[in-house]
């Protein structure tokens, strides 16, 4: 979707002569008695000036310089190594290492096989919180299974860096989405660690709708685990079998932290440790959710969007049993990922959320105030944005996702002087 504010400007024009001209036309068209016309004209001129100013602001030049660093084939995610180099995943299954100058391009071998098709393939990459002592990295990917079924999986392995690249060894799968289903969409599979070292995984609804409300499935959920994949005893649903007569005590529900998610692709903790998730809505209704323990975010029972075939989905405000999004978007922004900005290079953005926008082809800046969130700014980038991350010095690093052309650039954003 294009930025609606840019559309506004296109339809109204911003020059003062346009404003005057339109006012005259309106007055003539509506045949307003002449004694009101001057006042009306003044009011409308003021209104149009305010609108024009807003439009000018929306069209203001980007507050950062954009430098192209490297080019990748369908890049999906990135993370920074302690030595400053960047790990970049490509959906077809490659894990690349590249210097911040775009040079010294290397590959990591020993990765799990990925099931590349549709939205599936290689996904996220994050370092273990104690990477420097453990060497562990975590990767997510789509995994094939008998019968043409698929599911998201998260594996970890020890990354050994060498002159000519890197090797992943001692690879073990720490989580698998359950159950595996047919289809190629909505894996989710964003990975994050919190300050206490818990492993968080977002699990998409696999375009299957109702499993998001099914406690015997990890589809459409947020998952919280120990770093080795074991289940924390204080997860909200570990004793769920005692509250539901139809489930036994060997289900997958102990992994679940929250439910009713659709395709959560953005997941990050703010500077106060609060977890936020940005997820793709259906036709309309993309969401920014503030995650609470055991929360139910309503999909597919409620959504501020509708089904793609036009069928209605009741809006969130029709059912207070579900947790409402803090922000939602129609037209959609299509969040690719989300990060919190903690650097000093863009001081005004400290503590803000930044969302990579795919269909919106933009970076969206969100200001937080406790439990509230406000869209503060939207930076048009001219391409679908898959990922935005903060680098070690506080600059922003961006991955484009021009999957149709089979290429996507790695960009570095620094403040304009």
Residues acting as catalytic residues? 186
Residue placing its CB nearer to Ca ion in the complex, 98 or 301: 301
CB of 289 to Ca ion, least distance (A): 16
CA nearest to 218, candidates 247, 244, 246, 180: 180
Can you say how many angstroms the Cα of residue 97 is from the centroid of all Cα atoms in its chain?
Answer: 23
Residue placing its CB nearer to Ca ion in the complex, 304 or 387: 304
CA nearest to 119, candidates 98, 140, 137: 140
Residue placing its CB nearer to Ca ion in the complex, 153 or 301: 301
Q: Tell which positions 370-409 bind Ca ion, by CB under 5 A.
A: none
- Using CB under 5 A, which of the segments 120-128, 223-231, 275-283, 311-319 binds Ca ion? 311-319
Q: Does 73 bind Ca ion (CB under 5 A)?
A: no
Q: Tell which positions 117-176 bind Ca ion, by CB under 5 A.
A: none
Residue placing its CB nearer to Ca ion in the complex, 107 or 315: 315
Q: Which residues pair with 117 in a beta bridge?
A: 120
Instruction: Say if CB 376 and CB 367 are below 8 A apart.
Output: yes
Give the total of residues touching Ca ion (CB under 5 A): 2
Q: What is the 3-state secondary structure (H, E, C) of 141-163?
A: EEEEEHHHEEEEEEEEEEEEEEC
Residue placing its CB nearer to Ca ion in the complex, 315 or 324: 315
Distance, CA of 261 to CA of 277 (rounded, Å): 9
Distance, CA of 235 to CA of 161 (rounded, Å): 35
CB of 284 to Ca ion, least distance (A): 7
Most distant CA pair in the chain, distance: 84
CB of 86 to Ca ion, least distance (A): 39
- Using CB under 5 A, which of the segments 27-35, 87-95, 214-222, 307-315 binds Ca ion? 307-315
- Using CB under 5 A, which of the segments 133-141, 180-188, 310-318, 330-338 binds Ca ion? 310-318
CB of 305 to Ca ion, least distance (A): 6
CB of 319 to Ca ion, least distance (A): 11
Give me the 352-371 binding string for Ca ion, x by CB under 5 A, dash otherwise: --------------------
Sole binder of Ca ion in the list 201, 277, 313, 398 (CB under 5 A)? 313
Q: Tell which positions 315-354 bind Ca ion, by CB under 5 A.
A: 315
- Using CB under 5 A, which of the segments 26-34, 112-120, 226-234, 314-322 binds Ca ion? 314-322
CB of 206 to Ca ion, least distance (A): 21
* Beta-strand runs (E) in 334-371: 335-340, 353-357, 362-369
Q: Quick one: DSSP state of residue 229?
A: S
Can you say how many angstroms the Cα of residue 130 is from the centroid of all Cα atoms in its chain?
Answer: 25
Can you say how many angstroms the Cα of residue 367 is from the centroid of all Cα atoms in its chain?
Answer: 16
Query: Please, what's the b/e burial string for 389-415 (b: 16 or more CB within 10 A of its CB; e: otherwise)?
Result: bbbeebbbbbbbbebeeeebbbbbbbe
Residue placing its CB nearer to Ca ion in the complex, 1 or 81: 1
Distance, CA of 351 to CA of 397 (rounded, Å): 17
Distance, CA of 343 to CA of 74 (rounded, Å): 27
Which two three-digit tokens encode residue 141? 């990917």
Task: Calculate the alpha carbon distances from 88 to 267, 370, 416 in Å.
Answer: 18, 33, 26
CB of 286 to Ca ion, least distance (A): 12
Residue placing its CB nearer to Ca ion in the complex, 317 or 371: 317
Instruction: Say if CB 126 and CB 113 are below 8 A apart.
Output: no
Give the interface with Ca ion as residue ranges (CB under 5 A).
313, 315
């Amino acid at each position: 979707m294009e930025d609606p504010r840019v559309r506004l400007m296109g339809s109204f024009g911003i020059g003062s002569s346009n404003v005057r001209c339109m006012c005259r036309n309106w007055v003539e068209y509506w045949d307003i008695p002449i004694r009101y016309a001057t006042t009306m004209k003044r009011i409308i001129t003021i209104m149009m000036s305010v609108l024009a100013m807003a439009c000018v602001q929306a069209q203001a030049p980007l507050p950062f310089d954009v430098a192209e660093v490297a080019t990748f084939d369908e890049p999906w995610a990135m993370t920074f190594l302690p030595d400053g180099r960047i790990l970049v995943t490509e959906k077809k299954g490659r894990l690349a290492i590249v210097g911040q100058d775009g040079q010294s391009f290397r590959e990591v071998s020993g990765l799990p096989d990925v099931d590349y098709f549709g939205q599936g393939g290689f996904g996220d990459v994050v370092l273990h919180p104690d990477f420097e002592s453990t060497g562990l990295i975590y990767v997510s990917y789509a995994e094939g299974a008998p019968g043409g079924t698929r599911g998201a999986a998260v594996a970890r392995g020890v990354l050994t860096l060498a002159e000519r690249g890197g090797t992943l060894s001692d690879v073990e799968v720490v989580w698998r989405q359950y159950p595996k289903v047919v289809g190629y969409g909505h894996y989710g599979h964003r990975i994050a660690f919190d300050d206490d070292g818990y492993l968080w995984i977002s699990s998409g609804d696999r375009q299957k709708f109702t499993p998001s409300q099914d406690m015997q499935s990890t589809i459409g959920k947020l998952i919280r685990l120990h770093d080795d994949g074991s289940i924390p005893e204080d997860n909200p649903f570990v004793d769920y079998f005692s509250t539901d007569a139809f489930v036994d005590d060997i289900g997958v529900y102990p992994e679940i932290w929250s439910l009713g998610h659709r395709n959560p692709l953005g997941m990050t903790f703010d500077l106060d440790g609060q977890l936020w998730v940005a997820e793709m809505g259906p036709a309309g209704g993309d969401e920014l959710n503030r995650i609470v323990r055991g929360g139910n975010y309503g999909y597919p029972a409620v959504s501020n969007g509708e089904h793609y075939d036009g069928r209605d989905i009741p809006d969130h405000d029709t059912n207070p049993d579900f947790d409402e999004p803090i922000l939602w978007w129609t037209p959609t922004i299509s969040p690719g990922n989300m990060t919190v900005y903690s650097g000093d290079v863009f001081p005004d953005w400290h503590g803000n959320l930044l969302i990579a926008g795919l269909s919106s082809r933009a970076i969206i800046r969100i200001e937080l105030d406790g439990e509230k969130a406000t869209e503060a700014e939207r930076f048009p980038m001219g391409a679908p944005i898959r990922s935005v991350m903060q680098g070690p010095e506080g600059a922003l690093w961006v991955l484009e996702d021009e999957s149709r052309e089979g290429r996507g650039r790695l960009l570095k954003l620094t403040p304009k002087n």
